[in-house]
């Protein structure tokens, strides 16, 4: 685009440019409006509970006292479970697709992974509640309870629903996003680096670990953060299986709540202004958390131009 072209300046061109600029400005306006809008509706709760909202574990609609701690705790624990599974799984899956599998296998498996990303959250919820939860309660949880009964995470009644099941489903949902970014890293590592390592007799896994993952360490971390941000905000799949309880317990078998599941579950029954305001503030907390995580993810990914974050 040269300057002369801009100077042609017919009315049509000016109109197009103005409309395009307005649409671009709309994006920024929306991002700001999200914070302002949620902040506005949180005002009542903010003035009543102050910052203490963040670490009060009381959630009592009857008494009109609200605290975010139980929801924040549930969000962090389910997300942690999801990351524990998804981090090694996504690295291994990307390793498989980029280095191990012949194209005839890597292509269909790659498609399957991408299709996975298209499955709506609520379908994972249906599957989690009606298929996975019974299996968890009859087989997985009793087994874990016996094999690792000395750990506080695996105690309590095997109900099938709860933080463990929610975390596992979350890990499935974020896996495709993380895998596709890490897989890009394999392709963006300079061939000469990889070939130099292979030339010295390194094995495929050594090249992956010491060349690809090290060269792209930042982008890989960015992929993890991208998955983390998604897991935190995931709603329906979690709401179906997390159990919806505001108790804070160490055991992963126990029902809990995430910020998103509290919102989905209780919004319909929230009638008084303070209840609605407390829910809006929970939403604001989630927005700030995911915004911060995504900010970190972008910082790490932008240098590599990797990871379009879902718009593949």
Partner 1 sequence: MRPRSRAARKAADAAASALAFLAAAAGTAVLFWIMAEVFARGASVLGPAFFTRLPAPPGVGGGGLANAVLGTVIITLLATLMAVPPGVLAGVYLAEFAGNGRFASAVRFGVNMLMGVPSIIMGLFVWGTVVIATGGFSAWAGAVSLALIMLPVVARTAEDMLRLVPDSLRESVLAMGAPYWRAMLVIFLAARNGLVTGVLLAVARVGGETAPLLFTALNSPYWPTDLTKPTANLPVTIYNYAMSPYRDWQAMAWGASLVITAGVLALSLVSRFALKTGTERKAKR
- Residue list 239-258, contact with partner 1 (CB under 8 A): 239-240
Give yes or no for residue 13 binding partner 1 (CB under 8 A): yes
By C-beta, is 16 or 148 nearer to partner 1?
16
Q: How many residues contact partner 1, by CB under 8 A?
A: 94
Cα–Cα distances in angstroms (integers) from residue 198 to residues 54, 94, 184, 188, 193, in the given order? 52, 19, 20, 17, 9
Give yes or no for residue 40 binding partner 1 (CB under 8 A): yes
The encoded tokens of residue 2 equal 């040269």
Give yes or no for residue 43 binding partner 1 (CB under 8 A): no
Candidate segments 57-65, 110-118, 184-192, 212-220, binder of partner 1 by CB under 8 A: 110-118
Neighbour tally for 5: CB within 10 Å: 9
Helix (H, G, I), strand (E, B) or coil at 65: strand
Give yes or no for residue 260 binding partner 1 (CB under 8 A): yes
Given a contact cutoff of 8 angstroms between Cβ atoms, the answer to whether 79 and 170 are in contact is yes
Q: Which position has the token pair 């998804």?
A: 86
Candidate segments 126-134, 139-147, 157-165, 185-193, binder of partner 1 by CB under 8 A: 126-134
The encoded tokens of residue 153 equal 């995470």
Q: How far apart are CA 95 and CA 89, in angstroms?
A: 10
Given a contact cutoff of 8 angstroms between Cβ atoms, the answer to whether 190 and 101 are in contact is no
Candidate segments 46-54, 136-144, 153-161, 286-294, binder of partner 1 by CB under 8 A: 286-294
Residue from the set 54, 126, 148, 250 that interacts with partner 1 by CB under 8 A = 126
The encoded tokens of residue 210 equal 């010491």
Give yes or no for residue 116 binding partner 1 (CB under 8 A): yes
| Residue among 186, 139, 184 nearest 160 (CA) | 139
By C-beta, is 130 or 250 nearer to partner 1?
130
User: 135-174: which residues touch partner 1 (CB under 8 A)?
Assistant: 172
Q: What is the CA radius of gyration of the chain?
A: 23
Where residue 150 falls (left for φ over 0; alpha for ψ -120 to 50; beta otherwise) is alpha
The encoded tokens of residue 262 equal 């509290």
Query: Closest distance between partner 1 and the C-beta of residue 205, in Å?
Result: 4
Give yes or no for residue 236 binding partner 1 (CB under 8 A): yes
Q: Give the contacts of 272 (CB within 8 A, at least 6 positions apart).
A: 64
By C-beta, is 32 or 62 nearer to partner 1?
32
Give yes or no for residue 131 binding partner 1 (CB under 8 A): yes
Strand partners, 18: none
Give yes or no for residue 26 binding partner 1 (CB under 8 A): yes
Residue from the set 10, 47, 192, 271 that interacts with partner 1 by CB under 8 A = 10
Give yes or no for residue 34 binding partner 1 (CB under 8 A): yes
Query: Closest distance between partner 1 and the C-beta of residue 153, in Å?
Result: 22
Q: How many residues are listed for the chain in this entry? A: 312
Give yes or no for residue 7 binding partner 1 (CB under 8 A): no
Helix (H, G, I), strand (E, B) or coil at 66: strand
Residue from the set 65, 215, 247, 298 that interacts with partner 1 by CB under 8 A = 298
Contact pattern from residue 69 through residue 108 relative to partner 1, giving x for each residue in contact according to CB under 8 A and a dash for the rest: -------------------xx--xx-xxx--xx-------
Query: Closest distance between partner 1 and the C-beta of residue 57, in Å?
Result: 22
Residue from the set 166, 181, 226, 242 that interacts with partner 1 by CB under 8 A = 226
Q: Give the contacts of 280 (CB within 8 A, at least 6 positions apart).
A: 38, 41, 42, 45
């Amino acid at each position: 685009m040269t300057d002369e072209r801009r100077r042609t300046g017919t009315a049509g061109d000016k109109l197009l440019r103005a409309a395009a600029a307005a649409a671009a400005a709309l994006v920024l306006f929306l991002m700001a409006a999200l914070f302002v809008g949620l902040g506005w509706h949180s005002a009542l709760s903010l003035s009543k509970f102050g910052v203490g909202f963040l670490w009060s574990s009381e959630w009592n609609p009857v008494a009109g006292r609200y605290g975010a701690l139980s929801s924040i705790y549930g969000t962090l624990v389910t997300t942690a479970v999801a990351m524990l599974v998804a981090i090694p799984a996504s690295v291994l899956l990307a390793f498989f697709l980029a280095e191990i599998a012949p194209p005839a296998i890597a292509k269909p498996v790659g498609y399957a992974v991408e299709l996975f990303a298209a499955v709506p959250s609520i379908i994972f919820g249906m599957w989690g509640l009606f298929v996975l939860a019974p299996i968890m309660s009859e087989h997985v949880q009793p087994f874990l309870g016996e094999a690792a009964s000395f750990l506080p995470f695996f105690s309590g009644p095997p109900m099938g629903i709860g933080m463990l099941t929610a975390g596992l489903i979350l890990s499935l949902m974020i896996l495709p996003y993380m895998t596709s970014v890490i897989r890009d890293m394999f392709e963006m590592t300079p061939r000469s680096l990889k070939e130099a390592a292979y030339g010295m007799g390194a094995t495929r896994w050594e090249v992956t670990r010491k060349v690809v993952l090290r060269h792209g360490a930042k982008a890989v971390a960015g992929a993890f953060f991208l998955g983390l941000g998604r897991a935190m905000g995931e709603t329906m799949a979690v709401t179906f299986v997390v159990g919806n309880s505001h108790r804070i317990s160490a055991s992963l078998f126990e029902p809990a709540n995430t910020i998103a599941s509290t919102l989905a579950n209780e919004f319909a029954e929230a009638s008084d202004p303070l209840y609605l305001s407390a829910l809006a503030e929970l939403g604001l907390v989630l927005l700030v958390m995911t915004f911060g995580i995504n900010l970190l993810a972008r910082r790490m990914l932008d240098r590599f131009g990797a990871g379009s974050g879902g718009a593949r």
